[in-house]
Amino acid sequence: MSTTTADPTTRSAADGPDLAPLIDALPDGAVITEVDSMAGYRMDWAKDPNAGTPLVVVRATCTEDVATAITFAAEHGISVVPRGAGTGLSGGASALEGCMVLSTERMRDIRVDPVTRTCVVQPGLLNAEVKKACAEHDLWYPPDPSSYEICSIGGNIATNAGGLCCVKYGVTRDYVLGLTVVLADGKVITVGGPRLKDSAGLSLTQLFVGSEGTLGVVTEIVLRLVPLQRPPATLIATFKTLDEATATVLGITRTMRPSMLEFMDKASINAVEDVTKMGLDRDTEAMLIIQSDEPVDYAAAEIEKITGICEENGASEVFSTTDKEEGEQFVVARRMAIPAVEEKGTLLLEDVGVPLPALGDLVRGIADISTERDVMIAVIAHAGDGNTHPLIVFDPTDADAEARARKAYGEVMDLAIALGGTITGEHGVGRLKKEWLNAYLGDDVLALNHIIKNALDPAGLLNPGAGY
Amino acid sequence: MSTTTADPTTRSAADGPDLAPLIDALPDGAVITEVDSMAGYRMDWAKDPNAGTPLVVVRATCTEDVATAITFAAEHGISVVPRGAGTGLSGGASALEGCMVLSTERMRDIRVDPVTRTCVVQPGLLNAEVKKACAEHDLWYPPDPSSYEICSIGGNIATNAGGLCCVKYGVTRDYVLGLTVVLADGKVITVGGPRLKDSAGLSLTQLFVGSEGTLGVVTEIVLRLVPLQRPPATLIATFKTLDEATATVLGITRTMRPSMLEFMDKASINAVEDVTKMGLDRDTEAMLIIQSDEPVDYAAAEIEKITGICEENGASEVFSTTDKEEGEQFVVARRMAIPAVEEKGTLLLEDVGVPLPALGDLVRGIADISTERDVMIAVIAHAGDGNTHPLIVFDPTDADAEARARKAYGEVMDLAIALGGTITGEHGVGRLKKEWLNAYLGDDVLALNHIIKNALDPAGLLNPGAGY
């Protein structure tokens, strides 16, 4: 029995194993144990109320640091919660009580190879920084989550993140050629690499993408890059009814591949107008923001064709421009939606997706849930992918409102499942959506997830409870 | 002890379990046991000399038939070799002695949904038939293996097949949204579906793609489709040296995304000229066949830019056309290469890929192997992907020549590995390349393949020995 008096600001030896060997094995400043200093590592943007306090935070600087940390955790039976920039929206980086938070924020190297049109990047670099480093070589890394300026590429890999251009250019997994991964026992493996095609062995690279840190911790990523995107032409259209807007979406996607096809409902339009006073029509039921990045004359022709589809379907107003800067002004309304709605209260940010023809039913059903539960739900969507972000708003000082909001959060997922949809299109399951995963996947597929998890991490120490 | 006299044309009960319950449970004609009738199911195009004779061939008509067959096989410990159209080039569908060959050739349904731009297809439909059914709705399924007129979509999923347009449009996995799979115990699961984005649970859909029938048998596939390709402009360029050609390839891929970028060496050019008498220059060292499918003016501009790159790099001749039919004539030379080289003898068809800058070293090294082993090796390549098909030719009546060819086959893989490349870009490992998989993946990654295989198929009955 230890007789040490507990110091409330640090964890004593009585709380867990002796951390000295870990501290010795890692660079200066890599290990944090003060409770106050660890506070910023407890939650991600999902603000999971059940987040615990870690035993230790490790701020790794390289693959070897990650291997050292995981080996130590494995030896002492400590759960490991990997963490990128902490911008996750499903609680995949919520700390567990007594866990090791393994932060990759200091792993920020990137090497761009313009000859092979690839880059090798560490997980802590932000998505926007990856884009910028590639752009210096006239290359483009397409996936663009709305949070691209603050989310890490490692987190993007963990959740198979999407974004606005994915309707034409695909999601994160479509750009991942290879990974260096530290497995649950501390072993370092490299899967895939800068080869554009590879059919040798199982698709382990793809298995790790989207696995939310439950199968291993990614420490290096080989990304495929493409030539820079052409400046897009932009169209904005408003509709008096939801049906007009969803019919327009289907009319477009059936024959065309716009490089952006975004949707905003009345509540999100009004929230943005409250903040920006940019002159949006507060009475409009739905707005579409659409871009084409075809070569300039063809983009103009595509936008003209889309204008026709909007008008056929009864659009109130259609405005378009081939000027990149002017177009970007329209996109700002969409990008402002989340912060603008957040002005109204605390957000539960949903991420349900459905097959495209069910988009209208989903949005209508969400409105019904909003009415029934008496909570504000603003809906924005990557409409061309059928992927919606219902933003559920509640007053954090009103316990009943919060309870109704959490009820609505679950009901939106139930609705998506009933419509043949998914509980998460691009944010991951994390800890907040885990309760609905079985209903979505079914018993057999969930069991298969567990079989693979158990095979790779028999002790269940890697991000337990997240994403599976 | 059975006292039945063995009938050499059928398998007797002494050879294995009583097949009557299987025959009863399946539609008429689904079960074949006569040795002569099974002969066509022993090998794929790799003509694996070690192929065995199956105990039974099952020609399933639906998912339930596959489940019935696999359940029976599991109960009796019989290995199952799944088989599509039998056009595989790595021996992934070579029968094992006493196995069940599970053919999907009769599973040929397709339903195209133009609204969601997806189709649901059974595995036995040929790639060309998938393309045709989609084209009737003005939609395109891009992946185009050279064998697209004779290979099945199920086989394409099993090997993650590539093709000529993949340099711009990606490989099979990029179009697979969902799968119905019969697992090793006969259980039927559905993973993914017609949802364009999905981050819920592990990426099982992607894990099954490219797994060569070792983790389950795919019985239904949801494919993502895109609008029809624009008619391409085509360029053909000849070079006096290999270096000029590979420098041209790098010059193009660095800044552009052609929709085809194919390479032929002197030996393959001459083999095609022998057959076609189309007037190809027999003295040229390398030929590139390039297409652009940008909108017409832009395709012309792209082809003009590529012409400039060819000329800067010393091309002997460059010819281009925006006429689709005339362009197709050039592509014929490339498509004819395999049958033309096959006129020279029996082929061992290689499939090694390297990072693009190593393409020249690979082709040169293959020429050295050809000289040293005194075997003809003609090289064609999906040059824009760094994926080459060295065609090793031998006289099947000359045992020494065959031995030298098989030696060269392995040395080409050794060379690819040494250059940072893969032993298979798009054909799969099958049984013929298994010997080199460890050298390519390394012990740890191979072990991880085995861990996952064992977790999903503990008895090891699904396509044992293929692809892992």
Q: Which residues of chain B have a CB within 8 Å of the CB of A452?
A: 202, 204, 207, 452, 455-456
Residue B291 in domain: yes
In this predicted structure, the answer to whether residue A4 has a pLDDT above a threshold of 50 is: no
Residue A44 in domain: yes
CATH of the domain at B315: 3.40.462.10
Q: What is the mean pLDDT of chain A?
A: 95
DSSP string computed for A263-295 = EEEHHHHHHHHHHH-----TT-SEEEEEEE-S-
DSSP A167: H
Same domain, A251 and A349: yes
Same domain, A219 and A260: no
In this predicted structure, the answer to whether residue B7 has a pLDDT above a threshold of 90 is: no
Residue B431 in domain: no
Same domain, B135 and B89: no
Q: Percent of chain B beyond pLDDT 70?
A: 97
Residue B89 in domain: yes
Tell me how close the Cα of B375 comes to any Cα of chain A, in angstroms. 26
Residue where a domain terminates, one of B382, B398, B418: B418
Closest residue by Cα to residue B425 from B364, B384, B375 = B384
Look at A199 and B426 and tell me if their CB atoms are within 8 Å: yes
Nearest by CB to residue B195, choosing from A160, A353, A384, is A353
For position A13, what pLDDT does the model report?
A: 43
CATH of the domain at B90: 3.30.43.10
CATH of the domain at A349: 3.40.462.40
**Number of domains chain A contains:** 3
Q: Which residues of chain B have a CB within 8 Å of the CB of A426?
A: 197, 199
More confident residue, A40 or A10: A40
What whole-number distance in Å separates Cα of residue B167 and Cα of residue B295? 18
Q: Percent of chain B beyond pLDDT 90?
A: 94
Q: Which residues of chain B have a CB within 8 Å of the CB of A354?
A: 195
Q: CA of B3: how far to CAs of A179, A276, A385, B17, B361, in Å?
A: 59, 91, 65, 15, 63
Question: Are the CB atoms for B235 and B304 separated by under 8 Å?
Answer: no
Look at A449 and B297 and tell me if their CB atoms are within 8 Å: no
Tell me how close the Cα of A2 comes to any Cα of chain B, in angstroms. 41
Residue A462 in domain: no
In this predicted structure, the answer to whether residue A139 has a pLDDT above a threshold of 60 is: yes
Same domain, A294 and A326: yes
DSSP A358: G
For position A15, what pLDDT does the model report?
A: 62
Residue A151: strand, helix, or coil: coil
Residue where a domain terminates, one of B198, B227, B256: B227
Same domain, B192 and B298: no
Question: Are the CB atoms for B429 and B467 separated by under 8 Å?
Answer: yes
Residue B440 in domain: no
Q: Using 50, 70 and 90 to split pLDDT, how confident is the model at A296?
A: confident
Same domain, B248 and B218: no
Same domain, A248 and A380: yes
For B355, the closest chain A residue by CA position comes to A195
Same domain, A300 and A413: yes
Q: Which residues lie closer than 8 Å to A153 by C-beta, 6 or more apart?
A: A84, A121, A123, A124, A125, A126, A127, A130, A221, A223
Mean pLDDT for B351-378 is 97
Q: Which residues of chain B have a CB within 8 Å of the CB of A385?
A: 196-197
Q: Which residues of chain B have a CB within 8 Å of the CB of A257?
A: 226-227
Same domain, B64 and B136: no
3-class DSSP string for chain B: CCCCCCCCCECCHHHCCCCHHHHHHCCCCCEECEHHHHHHHCCCCCCCCCCCCCCEEEECCCHHHHHHHHHHHHHHCCCEEEECCCCCCCCCCCCCCCCEEEECCCCCCEEEECCCCEEEECCCCEHHHHHHHHHCCCEECCCCCCCCCCCEHHHHHHHCCCCCCHHHHCCHHHHEEEEEEECCCCCEEEEECCCCCCCCCCCHHHHHCCCCCCCCEEEEEEEECEECCCCCEEEEEEECCHHHHHHHHHHHHCCCCCCEEEEEEHHHHHHHHHHHCCCCCCCCCEEEEEEECCCHHHHHHHHHHHHHHHHHCCCCEEEEECCHHHHHHHHHHHHCHHHHHHCCCEEEECCCECCHHHHHHHHHHHHHHHHHHCCEEEEEEEHHHCEEEEEEEECCCCHHHHHHHHHHHHHHHHHHHHCCCECCCCCCCCCCCHHHHHHHHCHHHHHHHHHHHHHHCCCCCECCCCCC
DSSP A108: -
- pLDDT tens for A188-211 read 999 999 999 999 999 999 999 999
Most distant CA atoms of chain A, gap in Å: 79
Tell me how close the Cα of A394 comes to any Cα of chain B, in angstroms. 26
CATH of the domain at B200: 3.30.465.10
What whole-number distance in Å separates Cα of residue B118 and Cα of residue B222? 7
Residue B1 in domain: no
Element (H, E) at A209: none
In this predicted structure, the answer to whether residue A321 has a pLDDT above a threshold of 70 is: yes
Residue A5 in domain: no
Structural domain boundaries enclosing B163: 110-227
Same domain, B369 and B389: yes
For A166, the closest chain B residue by CA position comes to B197
- pLDDT tens for A86-96 read 999 999 999 99
For position B329, what pLDDT does the model report?
A: 87
Q: Which residues of chain A have a CB within 8 Å of the CB of B215?
A: 202
Q: Which residues of chain B have a CB within 8 Å of the CB of A433?
A: 200
Closest residue by Cα to residue B81 from B89, B69, B63, B64 = B69
Look at B355 and A194 and tell me if their CB atoms are within 8 Å: yes
For position B468, what pLDDT does the model report?
A: 73
DSSP A96: P
Look at B204 and A445 and tell me if their CB atoms are within 8 Å: yes
Closest residue by Cα to residue A425 from A362, A334, A364, A375 = A362
Tell me how close the Cα of B282 comes to any Cα of chain A, in angstroms. 31
Same domain, B223 and B240: no
Two structure tokens written together for B432? 């013929």
Same domain, B260 and B344: yes
Residue where a domain terminates, one of A227, A246, A270: A227
In this predicted structure, the answer to whether residue B3 has a pLDDT above a threshold of 90 is: no
Q: If 0-12 CB within 10 Å is exposed, 13-18 middle and 19+ buried, where does residue A263 land?
A: buried
Look at A356 and B257 and tell me if their CB atoms are within 8 Å: no
Size of interface A-B (CB pairs under 8 A): 256
